Amino acid sequence: MKTPIDLLIEARWILPVEPHRATLENHAVAIDKGKIVAILRQSDAASRFVPVQTQALARHILIPGLVNLHTHAAMSLLRGIADDLPLQKWLNEYIWPTEAKHVSESFVYDGTTLACAEMLLGGTTCFSDMYFFPKEAALAAIRLGMRAAIGLLVFDFPSSYAADADDYLSKNMQTRDELKNEPLLSFCLAPHSPYTVSDRTFTRVLTLAEQCDLPIHLHLHETLQEMENSLRQFGVRPIERLRRLGLLGPGLIAVHGVHLDSNEIALLAQYGCSVAHCPSSNLKLASGIAPVAALADRGVNIGIGTDSAASNNRLDILEEMRLASLLAKGSTGNAEAIDAHQALRMATLGGARALGLEEKIGSISIGKAADLCAIRIDDPRLLPYYDPASLLVYSAGREFVSDVWVAGKKRVENGHLLGVNEIELINSVSLWQNRLYSSRTP
């Protein structure tokens, strides 16, 4: 007897990520109640299943939904507001003063809505965020049906969101308690960085992370100035400071990891930490090039992030995948470093594993959520093609994303976002643009 299911997706090519380097031709994915129940040849699917709906993707590559391991989604409203500046000047003279004037619940909700729209249209189905007013970011993700790991941001200085570190933590845990049963949400504790968080606050963060089983997501070893300041203030570089505080472990997501020596890479590997690699942002802010090939060689789990649209200026994981691979090759002189399959794995399962979500997402595997992205390949700009993984990483861009599903529900169809009034979204962003432009600093 045939089994009824909700959806059958037939694709010319499937890159499931697990098993590693697998490439499936003319296969289908059977989905029911939001989960993958089978992966099989198209010729066998008709005899096993009776789908409510069948999606034929005869000229497409189907991949797991992409995971953006690090972003500040609401900062999409600051895209292009302060370009071509070094990080500290960018932060201290432009971004932080602008945020002090404008960041509010509505800023975060509208900015995150814009970011979710951009990410979904580019094939990203899950993002890990770090920003003020995390409840509003979560509500925006829920509205668009997107999976999100909400970063519960912690600083030692006041903002429009919280007065001090204790206030951040109190409000953050309240948000987590209110929304912890939302099926598409998970949470991380997100102390901003070693240069904005004290030892006392890090200790409190670690205690909460252990009590609530939450990852810790923070900027780490991003710039040479960060290294110099840490040596001057604490006598050690930031990773060693965190090691002494007990923060290194499988739950730590080190964002950027640009300036790492061999001993620090060994520490990250020893403690099972993850690295969120943000190649475009690191290049644009002239922070440097992260040693991802060396990290990968030591077995460090690596995911890919965009950082914010204010420092990138795109929330485009397909572009970051390509750049991650090319930078690894160019910086090492090894053309085999971070090949196409490794880059795809970093952009999917690597991010999922860092967030503790590898049992739910990150690969096209039986039992996992049907978070999927289809890329059409019937375009002269992509022809000819001989290897689907190579085509995906080195040739295809987000403009070729046709369909996207989150937990089996279609969120993008034939390149169009579903469930969102684009005119209303554009009008909302225009209002913010006018307000922000009139008060730019300095």
pLDDT higher than threshold 80 for residue 439: no
Q: How far apart are CA 181 and CA 379, in angstroms?
A: 42
Question: pLDDT band at 91, cuts 50/70/90?
Answer: confident
> What whole-number percentage of the chain has pLDDT above 70?
99
Beta carbons within 10 angstroms of residue 327's beta carbon? 21
* Residue 265: predicted pLDDT: 98
Q: 66-354 architecture in CATH?
A: Alpha-Beta Barrel (3.20)
Kindly give the residue spans of alpha helices, DSSP state H, lying in 256-370: 262-270, 279-284, 292-297, 317-332, 340-345, 351-354
pTM of the model: 0.97
pLDDT at 88: 83
* pLDDT reading at 1 higher than 90: no
- 142 contacts 112 by C-beta, under 8 angstroms: no
Give which of 299, 272, 278, 308 is closest to 290, Cα–Cα.
Answer: 278
Q: How confident is the model at residue 441 (pLDDT cuts 50, 70, 90)?
A: low
pLDDT tens string 108-156? 999 999 999 999 999 999 999 999 999 999 999 999 999 999 999 999 9
Q: Name the segment(s) of the chain with CATH classification 2.30.40.10.
A: 3-64+369-407
Question: Which residues in the chain are classed under CATH 3.20.20.140?
Answer: 66-354
CATH of domain 3-64+369-407: 2.30.40.10
* Spatial separation of the C-alpha atoms in residues 411 and 54, rounded to whole Å: 16
pLDDT, one tens digit per residue, over 328-369 is 999 999 999 999 999 999 999 999 999 999 999 999 999 999
pLDDT single digits (tens) 379-392: 999 999 999 999 99
**How far apart (Å, rounded) are the C-alpha atoms in residues 390 and 270?**
32
- Residue 437 vs residue 416, higher pLDDT: 416
Q: Determine the Cα–Cα distance for residues 224 and 32; give it in Å rounded to an integer.
A: 50
pLDDT per position as a tens digit, 58-71: 999 999 999 999 99
pLDDT in tens, 332-342: 999 999 999 99
> CB under 8 Å to 212, separation ≥6 — which residues?
173, 176, 187
What is the per-residue pLDDT for 87? Answer: 81
Average pLDDT over residues 374-382: 97
In which band, very low, low, confident or very high, does the pLDDT at 437 lie, cut at 50, 70 and 90? Answer: confident
pLDDT reading at 442 higher than 70: no
Determine the pLDDT at residue 438. 76
- Position 129 scores a pLDDT of 98
- 210 pLDDT more than 90: yes
Which residue is associated with the tokens 């570089």? Answer: 237
Closest CA to 72 of 305, 361, 320: 305
Least confident of 203-207, 295-299, 397-401, 434-438: 434-438
Burial class from Cβ neighbours inside 10 Å (0-12, 13-18, 19+) for residue 232 reads exposed
